[in-house]
Every structure is written in structure tokens, then in C-alpha cells.
Amino acid sequence: MNLKMKKIDDFFEKIITVKLSDDGKAVNIIDQTLLPNEIKRIDLRTKEEIFEAIKKLRVRGAPAIGVTAAYGMAVLSRGIKEKDFDDFYKKYKEISEYISSSRPTAVNLFWALSRMEDKLLSLKDKPVDEIVKGLFSEAEDIRNEDVEKSRWIGEAGFELLKEIREKTGRAPGILTHCNAGTLATAKYGTATAPMYIALEKGWSGQDMHVYCDETRPLLQGARLTAFELSEAGIDTTLQCDNMASALMAAGKIDIVFVGCDRVAANGDSANKIGTSGVAILAKHYGIPFYICAPDSTIDRETKDGSGIEIAMRSPDEVREMWYEKPMAPENISVYNPAFDVTPAELITGFITEKGVVTPPFGF
């Protein structure tokens, strides 16, 4: 193994977003609310702890939420005392519906919970102990498949980076928004997967330059993406969200990679607030804008973006959360949606584990 490969492997080992605890009785996550100042792992053993971790963004990113939910249901199923299947299933369903209410926008949450329920029902004629064992196996499959999906997304995105470097003769300039990195998935990330695959293919961190939007109001670009990319040794620059236009005008950006929480059937996509603005700017400056997401993020039952529920967050996240003293008038009204919807016509393409999908979209 060469030194570059060892370095990226060590990085991934250091930042495992979500896994099963060593004793198999908890979901073990990095508490992302403490990053970048502290890397702390916590165990989630109760339904309330799992709900709170998803709700409060201790774990976030659509794929990572799905993996957490899957492991969570396996762990919680072990605590159901009922041995009759109907009674067991009733209790399981109550817990699953409770967990599903923690985050309305991330479709992977519902996808993972649905898949776990399907696995349970497929084992309905088995003893409860075997059902529980099957749920743990299914959760592990969901995690491993997420790793493979992210890798394939990365492979496809890396081909685009190679084309840019061959065309320009210099390190590609990449803009990303929020965090769709390894911290948002089981490994590799979605929007960051092309960069991590580049490292595995032998590129150095200086063979590309990633610009991270700070990403208001929760600063996930600053706290998470800038943190993980710099930890991986990738040449990284942080800028405030309202500086993206100036950056593009200066010719610093060759391509935009972002993730998303939900894709409607027509291609409209919900991602962290501010993404639609980046897409509008990219369209103006003629910069390709790609959404990197696994197929499980596509909600084929929702016709277009108007059907995607957008969660509103606390006004205090804007007024005072990041300051020693409040930075806005007390009780001033705050508009604080967690996401916005990028119209399909602004999207150059989707990079999924199945390859690059270009317009016209129709999932």
C-alpha cells in the first residue's frame, strides 16, 4: 500500500460517521454538532436518543440518516419483549413511526425504515429472535450498500474532474455547498466522493481545489466540509455564501458538486438552504452544476418540488446561536427554512451510483 492510500484509509478510519457499537446494543455516531473542535463518539441506545440525534443534527446527511435509522430499528427491536409476531410487529411499527417523524425532508429516512419493515415482514413466520437477527443483517447491508453507492458516484464524478484537468491543464476548481461528505454518508460522501476517489486514484490534495460555502444558518460547510476535506489533505478554501458569485466571476470554479435530501420525479431537488442560489449563479456563469445522490434519494411518488415538505428551523440559529451576544434585535422575525428546492432546469445532471443522468429528467 502506498503512502497516499494509507493516508486516505487512515482518514476514513478516523471519521466513521455511523456504525454499530461494539456490544451491538447501540448506534454509535460522531456527534457532528461538536465539530470541528471536538471529535466525540456517542452511543444511541433508546428511541428518544435516536430521534433527538436526527432532529438535532448530531447525525445528518440523507444517507447517514438512513443508515442510523436502520441500525436504530435493529437495536430497538432487540428491546421489544413481545414474542407473538402480531404483538411484536405492532410495537415495532410504533417505534418506526416515531423515528420517521424526526426529519420530514430526508427521503432516505423513510426509505430505510420501509426497507427494514419489509425485511421484518419477510420473516413473519420465523421466531422473534430470528427476526431480530435478520434486522441486524439488513441494517448492515444498508450500510455496506451505501458505501458502494458512494464509491460509484465518486467514480463517475472523478471522470468529470479528469476531463476538466485534461482540458484546462490545471487543478479543477470545485464548489460545494453544505456537507455532502463522508460525514453525511457511511463513507466517501456524495458530493465529495469524486475528490476522495481522486485521492485513491493517486491524485494529491493539490491536484484539485475545493471551495466550501460556509452554509448558513448551521455552518455545515465551515464546520464539516472544510474540516473533513482539509483533514484528508485536499486543498480547501472556505468562503461565505454570498461570495459565490464573486468567486465564479473570478474564474475560480470549473464545476459545482452538491448533494441533496430529496429528488422529485421531475428532477426538482431539495438541498440545504442556499443551493438554489448557487444553481442560479452557475447557470449565469456557464458552470456545470451536478447533484450527487444515490438512487434511494429519488422520490418517484412526488411529482415535482412543490410536493417536498420543507422544515423550518429555530430563529435562534440565526439570531444568536454562533455569537457570544445576540447579533440581531431581540424577537425579530426570522425566516429560517432548512432547505430550498432547485428547479430541474438549473441542473446539468445527476450523478448516481448508476452513472450520470442528463436532461430531460424523468425518474
Q: Is residue 112 over pLDDT 80?
A: yes
Cα maximum dimension of the chain: 66
3-state SS class at 199:
helix
- CA distance from start to end of the chain: 41
- Identify the pLDDT of residue 1: 46
Average pLDDT value for residue range 21-32? 96
Q: What are phi and psi of 29, to 5 degrees?
A: -130, 160
Quote the pTM value: 0.92
- Identify the pLDDT of residue 351: 98
Helix (H) or strand (E) holding 163: helix 128-168
- Identify the pLDDT of residue 5: 60
- Identify the pLDDT of residue 4: 60
Average pLDDT value for residue range 167-193? 97
3-state SS class at 349:
strand
Average pLDDT value for residue range 159-178? 98
Q: What percent of the chain has pLDDT over 70?
A: 98
Taking the C-alpha atoms of residue 189 and residue 62, their distance in angstroms, rounded to an integer, is 10
- Active-site residue identified among 261, 268, 299, 340: 261
Q: What percent of the chain has pLDDT over 90?
A: 91
The per-residue pLDDT for range 316-339, each reduced to its tens digit, is 999 999 899 999 999 999 999 999
Which of 292, 335, 227 lies closest to 210 in space, CA to CA?
227
**Lookup: cell for 272:** 440545504
Sketch out the chain's domains with CATH numbers: 16-145 (1.20.120.420), 152-357 (3.40.50.10470)
Concatenated DSSP letters of 91-144: HHHHHHHHHHTT-SS-HHHHHHHHHHHHHHHHTTTS-HHHHHHHHHHHHHHHHH
The per-residue pLDDT for range 218-246, each reduced to its tens digit, is 999 999 999 999 999 999 999 999 999 99
Q: Look over the chain and give the mean of its residue pLDDT values, rounded to a whole number.
A: 95
- Identify the pLDDT of residue 62: 86
Q: Where residue 350 falls among pLDDT bands split at 50, 70, 90?
A: very high
Q: Is residue 6 over pLDDT 50?
A: yes
Helix (H) or strand (E) holding 211: strand 209-213
Residue 90 and residue 81 in contact, taking contact as beta carbons nearer than 8 Å: no
- Identify the pLDDT of residue 198: 97
Q: Is 84 a catalytic residue?
A: no
3-state SS class at 223:
helix
Q: Where residue 2 falls among pLDDT bands split at 50, 70, 90?
A: low
Q: Is residue 278 over pLDDT 90?
A: yes
Average pLDDT value for residue range 143-155? 97
Average pLDDT value for residue range 290-309? 95
The per-residue pLDDT for range 77-99, each reduced to its tens digit, is 999 999 999 999 999 999 999 99
How crowded is residue 124: how many other Cβ atoms within 10 Å of its Cβ?
11
Q: What are phi and psi of 173, to 5 degrees?
A: -95, 120
Q: Is residue 106 over pLDDT 80?
A: no
Average pLDDT value for residue range 296-310? 94
